């Protein structure tokens, strides 16, 4: 009997331990869940505004914003184009990452002095040389315009007074040069216009304006001249060869 009682007591103790373990399991799971909830609590966010120092047009700002949003998926990012600023609301780590990205993207742009040389010849003999220089910031356009304003007389008939009202409009003639530097690429547009000696048969005072447009895109090496193009002047035996040199401005 004593042996049986001892054995029964052992079985009862074992069952009790199992029941205690089963009873404590939900409590342990709850404690673990609480621990997880504490460790996954969202980090506090902060707001910081970055002022762009080297960007000069809205397209630059629009290029930076998608980059930041793609790299910092959890951050809230807003751009103000009128003030060239970017406001970021995110965690401290994301704010630091945003600051590094903006510093890498908002770098000073290269500035070039682009000099155009127009060599004019008549029947193979060099007659004149003209130089035009302009300052161009990388990814932006620079231009120079030189010439005259030619008056053109126009008339309109007034039925009430039975008199012709004379009006004058002005037409710009001369040379217009545009240049854009992008990386090692130089895009140019050259327009030349002049008033011909002969007159139009539309009206006695109406002039004939001759116009030539040359557009090109070339790859350049700073400091070395490149050929932009050649132009034959309409109605004459004159010929022009145009070259350009792009130099970095220190």
In a domain, 177, yes or no: yes
Do 57 and 145 belong together in one domain? Answer: no
Q: What rounded mean pLDDT belongs to the chain?
A: 82
- What pLDDT is stored for residue 161 in this prediction? 59
Q: Three-state secondary structure along the chain?
A: CHHHHHHHHHHHHHHHHHHHHHHHHHHHHHHHHHHHHHHCCCCCEEEEEEECCCCCCHHHHHHHHHHHHHHCCCCEEEEECCCCEEEEEEEHHHHHHHHHHHHHHCCCCCEEEEEEEEEEEECCEEEEEEEEEEEEECCCEEEEEEEEEEEEEEEEEECCCCEEEEEEEEEEEEEEEEEEEECCEEEEEEEEEEEEEEECCCCCCCEEEEEEEEEEEEECCCCCCEEEEEEECCCCCEEEEEEEEEEECC
Residue 13: inside a domain: no
If asked whether residues 116 and 174 sit together in one domain, one would say yes
- Does some domain include residue 129? yes
What would the pLDDT profile of 158-207 be if each residue is shown by its tens digit?
556 555 566 778 888 899 999 999 989 999 999 988 887 766 655 556 67
Same domain, 62 and 123: no
Phi, psi (deg, nearest 5) at residue 206:
-80, 120
Please report the pLDDT score of residue 117 as a whole number. 97
Spatial contact of 155 and 165, defined as CB atoms under 8 Å apart: yes
Structure tokens at 166: 């004379």
**Which residue among 105, 134, 156 closes a domain?**
105
Task: Tell whether 33 is covered by a domain.
Answer: no
Q: Does 98 map to a domain?
A: yes
Distance CA 192, CA 229 (A): 13
Do 234 and 125 lie in one domain? The reply is yes
Shared-domain flag, residues 148 and 202: yes
- Co-location of 100 and 61 in the same domain: yes
Asked whether residue 227 is domain-assigned, the answer is yes
Residue 211 makes CB contacts below 8 A (sequence gap 6+) with 191, 192, 193
> How many distinct structural domains can be found in the chain?
2
- pLDDT value at residue 138: 86
Q: Which residue has the higher pLDDT, 30 or 122?
A: 122
pLDDT at 52: 93
State whether 118 and 240 are in the same domain: yes
Residues 90 and 204 in one domain: no
Domain boundary among 62, 82, 105: 105
pLDDT tens digits, one per residue of 32-79: 555 555 556 778 999 999 999 988 788 888 989 999 999 998 999 999
Supply the pLDDT for residue 207. Answer: 76
The two tokens of residue 165 are 């009202």
| Residue 211 lies in domain | 111-248
Do residue 130 and residue 214 come from a single domain? yes
Within-domain flag for 17: no
Residues 132 and 149 in one domain: yes
Residue 15 lies in a domain: no
Which of 48, 37, 53 lies closest to 93 in space, CA to CA?
48
Look up the CATH number of the domain holding residue 82: 3.30.1370.120
Q: Is the pLDDT of residue 15 over 70?
A: no
- Of 105, 120, 142, which residue is a domain's last? 105
- 130 and 229 housed in the same domain: yes
Q: What is the pLDDT of residues 80-110, one digit of tens each?
A: 999 999 999 999 999 999 999 999 999 888 9
**Judgement on whether residues 152 and 237 belong to the same structural domain of the protein:** yes
pLDDT digits (tens, 9 = 90+) for 121-168: 998 899 999 999 999 988 888 999 999 888 877 666 555 655 556 677
| pLDDT at residue 194 in the model | 83
């Amino acid at each position: 009997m004593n042996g049986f009682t001892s054995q029964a007591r052992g079985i009862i103790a074992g069952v009790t331990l199992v029941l205690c373990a089963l009873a404590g399991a939900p409590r342990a799971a709850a404690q673990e869940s609480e621990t997880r909830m504490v460790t996954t609590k969202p980090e506090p966010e902060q707001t910081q505004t970055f002022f762009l120092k080297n960007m000069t047009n809205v397209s630059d700002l629009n290029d930076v914003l998608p980059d930041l949003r793609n790299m910092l998926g959890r951050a809230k990012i807003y751009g103000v184009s009128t003030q060239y600023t970017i406001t970021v609301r995110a965690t401290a780590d994301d704010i630091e990452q945003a600051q590094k990205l903006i510093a890498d993207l908002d770098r000073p742009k290269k500035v070039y002095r682009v000099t155009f040389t127009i060599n004019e010849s008549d029947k193979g003999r060099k007659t004149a040389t003209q130089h035009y220089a302009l300052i161009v910031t990388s990814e932006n356009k620079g231009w120079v315009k030189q010439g005259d304003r030619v008056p053109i007389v126009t008339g309109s008939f007034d039925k009430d007074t039975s008199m012709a009202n004379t009006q004058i409009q002005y037409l710009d003639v001369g040379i217009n040069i545009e240049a854009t530097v992008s990386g090692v690429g130089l895009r140019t547009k050259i327009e030349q216009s002049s008033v011909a000696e002969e007159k139009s048969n539309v009206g006695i005072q109406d002039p004939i304006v001759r116009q030539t447009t040359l557009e090109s895109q070339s790859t350049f090496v700073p400091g070395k001249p490149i050929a932009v193009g050649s132009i034959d002047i309409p109605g004459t035996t004159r010929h022009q060869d145009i070259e350009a040199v792009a130099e970095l401005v220190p």
